[in-house]
Amino acid sequence: MSGDTAFRFVQFELPWAPGPPAGRYVVREHLGEPPGHVIVVKEISATERRRPRRRPRTEDPNPPPREVPVWRVTVIDATPLAGNDAAADWLRRADHDALVHDAMVRLGRVLHLHRVAARDPASRDLASAQALAVRVGYGAGEQVADAAWEAAVTLPPAREAKGARAATLRPQERLAALLGGRDAALACEELTLRARSDLDAGREREAALQLQMALRAARAELQPWRDAGDLSTRLAELDELQDDADAAATRALESGLERSQAEAVEHALKRLEAALRARTVEALR
């Protein structure tokens, strides 16, 4: 990337190491094509790293909190803009939310591939709401490659949606029920969460495989609540969706999904999530 041209970027500041070590990662959509994006991972507030003690030691009462490093992860569009005037006009007119969403999908792919390459199941996916700061901007080649910029805007935190407070109270109520033994976490709930994580990150094949098992598990695990509320109707709907989920999973084992199958996975996952929410409401009555 030349320093005489401007490059667009979306940047996330994180309170943890994202997975891939610090460095520059060139991303191509297909072999032989020019780079589409460059991902720059940089630690910007490294604290003193001491060797761990070989023996336990006694801590003073009320020790101060330890400082943590902050990491900047910058998703750079490798297609240059024609000078700063064009870049400034782009930044002024850009759909910032759409750019952040696209960058998050691209970054999620990199984190997924790192997890596979490192064989590290603890490596996590990322949501923009978890970032300390989210920026959209532009700069010269070496600027953005060093996680800096010529001009940028920091996006405000997402506004709390109407009724969000009520929505956040229900998970607290559910957690209390789970910890107190008044409710149980179902295997299908974890499988559904994994399917949603894969689908949101653009991993349609993995989502299809997770959904197949999540549906099968849900149809069995929700049986004790069949007579509660409208669960019998919801279970009948899940029964009807299983064939489409099985077909999508079979295709996923062979190749990518057709658009109609990807849409079927999205639809079935939404209906499964709705059924699990309904089960939770009945369990907490």
Say what the pLDDT of residue 170 is. Answer: 77
Phi and psi based region of residue 163 (left: phi greater than 0; alpha: psi -120 to 50; beta: remaining): left
Degrees, nearest 5: CA angle 179-185-186? 170
pLDDT at 7 over 70: yes
| DSSP symbol at 79 | S
CB 190 within 8 A of CB 256: no
pLDDT at 3 over 50: no
pLDDT band at 151 (very low <50, low <70, confident <90, very high): very high
Say what the pLDDT of residue 285 is. Answer: 82
pLDDT at 168 over 80: no
Against a cut of 0.85, is the pTM above it? no
Q: Domain locations in the chain?
A: 6-48+67-154, 164-283
The mean of the pLDDT values for the chain is: 88
pLDDT single digits (tens) 220-247: 999 999 999 999 999 999 999 999 999 9
Say what the pLDDT of residue 266 is. Answer: 97
Q: Is 138 helix (H, G, I), strand (E, B) or coil?
A: strand
Average pLDDT over residues 36-53: 75
Say what the pLDDT of residue 222 is. Answer: 97
pLDDT band at 56 (very low <50, low <70, confident <90, very high): confident
pLDDT at 23 over 60: yes
Say what the pLDDT of residue 249 is. Answer: 97
Give the Cβ contact number of residue 51 at 10 Å: 5
Average pLDDT over residues 70-78: 95
10 Å CB burial of residue 14 (0-12, 13-18, 19+) is: middle
Residue 43 phi, psi (nearest 5): -90, 125
Residue 204 phi, psi (nearest 5): -65, -40
Highest mean pLDDT range out of 119-128, 155-164, 263-272? 263-272
